[in-house]
Amino acid sequence: MRAVRLTLSRVAALLRALAGVPDYERYAAHMRRRHPDAPLLSRSELIALCQRDRFDRPGGKCC
């Protein structure tokens, strides 16, 4: 059962990565480790920030 859950969460992570959704856990871990004093963005704030990065400059998409 645990193996199934783990596989599912990995598949979900893969799908999110394919769609360009940031990995929040990774970001949060990074911020706690390297910048413990800086404000931590919420999950939605991080996604919003990455969306702006993706769509508001060239190089995100192609023909």
Partner 1 sequence: MARQFSAVQLLFTVDWHGGALAVRGGRKQFGPMKQPMKPLSMLGWIAVALAGAVALGRLALSRGETISAAWLLVAAFATYAVAYRFYSKFIAAKVFALDVTRRTPAQRLDDGRDYVPTHKWIVFGHHFAAIAGPGPLVGPTLAAQFGFLPGALWIIVGVALGGAVQDFVILAASVRRDGKSLGRMAREEIGPVAGVTAGLAVLGIMIVLISVLALVIVNALRSSPWGTVTIGLTIPIALLMGVYLRWLRPARVLEASAIGIVLLAVALYAGRAVAQSASLAPMFTLGGTTLAVLVMLYGFLASVLPVWLLLAPRDYLSAFVKIGVVLALALGILFVLPPLQMPALTRFTNGTGPVFAGKVFPFAFITIACGAISGFHALVSSGTTPKLLEHETDARLVGYGGMLMESFVAVMALIAACVLTPGVYFAINAPVAAIGTTAASASQAVAQWGFTVTPETLNALAAQVGESSLLSRVGGAPSLAVGMAHIFSSALGGGGGMALWYHFAIMFEALFILTTLDAGTRVGRFMLQDLGRHVWPAFGRVSWYPAVVIASALFVAMWGWFLYQGVLDPLGGINSLWPLFGISNQLLAAVALCVGTSVIINSGRARYAWVTILPLAWLVVVTLTAGWQKLMSPDPALGFLAKASALARSLAAGTLPAGRSAADVRRMIFNERLDAAVAAAFMIAVVVVLAASIAEWTAIVRGRKAASSTEVPAERGVESLVAVAGD
Contact between 12 and partner 1 per CB under 8 A:
yes
Nearer to partner 1, 3 or 19 (CB): 19
**Which residues neighbour 27 within 8 Å (Cβ) at sequence distance 6 or greater?**
41, 46
Which of 1, 3, 4, 63: binder of partner 1 (CB under 8 A)?
A: 63
Residue 7 binds partner 1 (CB under 8 A): no
Q: What residue ranges bind partner 1 (CB under 8 A)?
A: 12, 14-24, 26-31, 34, 43-44, 46-63
